[in-house]
Amino acid sequence: MSLAKHHVTIKGVKDGLIFLLNDACEFSDLLTELKHKLENTHQQILTGPTIPVHVKLGNRSVSEADKDCIRGIIARRGNLDIQSIESSYKPENSERPRYRIEQGIIRSGQTLHADGNILYLGDVNPGGTITSTGDIYVMGSLRGMAHAGIDGNEDAVIAASHLRPIQLRIAHVISRPPDEWGIGESFMEFAYLREHKMEIDKIIHLHRLRPAAWMEKGE
């Protein structure tokens, strides 16, 4: 290992020290350099009374066992008091919205409700209702009523392959009748709220509201 790569940077701050640990190198190399600096090259700033230490791991995925290794090495210096060991890493799936996936036909008088987001593969007929606390995506004709963000989530959207509903609701906002939208037959459209008013746009513009979402079947 070349110590010139500086896998470990120790910075003095007002309330102690910050250990910045490189998140791109091998973990074993990181530990080796950490041990080397604590035992050999940084004696001057690591001596004296008790010093609070905050360890920053960057975007490195670490287990509790990995953190224990770091604690063990730093603890050898009896005056270093570890206050925190933090990583900004998030598992890939943690930001993927979960979708309940259903299929069929929602007929007049029928209601389908989902907690969270729902992807419905089928039609919602006039008189049928689909509701969700999150987003609603209908891969078919939405000709009944849809209510997204039913618990008050104004960031929810309603999208459909064929959007011709009796009524749309997002949170507490109710849409105008479809014949007042001024867009005629609506294919691959979605509804969203802007300044507490419902707007209709093409699904290809959905990325303007949020990054591309990965769909994952809910349990």
pLDDT at 141 over 50: yes
Domain end among 39, 55, 86: 86
Q: Are residues 29 and 80 in the same domain?
A: yes
Secondary element (H or E) of residue 34: helix 27-36
Per-residue pLDDT at 32 exceeds 50: yes
Give 117's strand partners: 99
Say if residue 113 is in the same domain as residue 156. yes
Q: Is the pLDDT of residue 96 over 80?
A: no
Q: What is the pLDDT of residue 61?
A: 87
Average pLDDT of the segment spanning 34-45: 77
Is the model's pLDDT at 95 over the cut of 70?
no
| CATH code, domain with 164 | 2.160.20.70
Are both 99 and 71 inside the same structural domain?
no
pLDDT at 202 over 50: yes
Q: What is the pLDDT of residue 77?
A: 79
Q: What is the CATH number of the domain that holds 74?
A: 3.30.750
- Both 81 and 136 in one domain: the answer is no
Strands 167-170 and 187-194: unpaired
Neighbours of 50 (CB within 10 A): 10
In whole angstroms, what separates CA 89 from the centre of its chain? 12
Same domain, 107 and 53: no
Query: Token pair of 191, please?
Result: 């509804």
128 and 62 both lie in a single domain: no
Backbone phi, then psi, for 72, in 5-degree steps?
A: -60, -40
Of 46 and 23, the structure prediction assigns the larger pLDDT to: 23
3-state secondary structure of 203: helix
Do 32 and 136 lie in one domain? The reply is no
Domain-ending residue, one of 58, 86, 114: 86
> DSSP letters along 108-159, please?
TT-EEEESSEEEEEEEE-TT-EEEESS-EEEEEEE-SEEEESTTS-TT--EE
Domain-terminating residue out of 62, 86, 110: 86
159 with 212, same domain?
yes
Q: What is the mean pLDDT of the chain?
A: 84
Q: Which of 31, 88, 23 is nearest to 65 (CA)?
A: 31
Domain that holds residue 56: 3-86
- Structurally, the chain folds into a number of domains equal to 2
pLDDT digits (tens, 9 = 90+) for 152-199: 999 999 999 999 899 999 999 998 656 555 555 668 899 999 888 888
Q: Are strands 16-21 and 51-56 parallel, antiparallel or unpaired?
A: parallel
Q: Name the nearest CA neighbour of 191 among 215, 6, 64, 181.
A: 181
What residues does 112 pair with on adjacent strands?
A: 130
Same domain, 82 and 102: no
Q: How far apart are the first and last CA of the chain?
A: 46
State whether 211 and 130 are in the same domain: yes
pTM: 0.54
pLDDT given for residue 92 in this prediction = 59
Tens digit of each residue's pLDDT (9 = 90 or more) over 106-128: 999 999 999 999 999 999 999 99
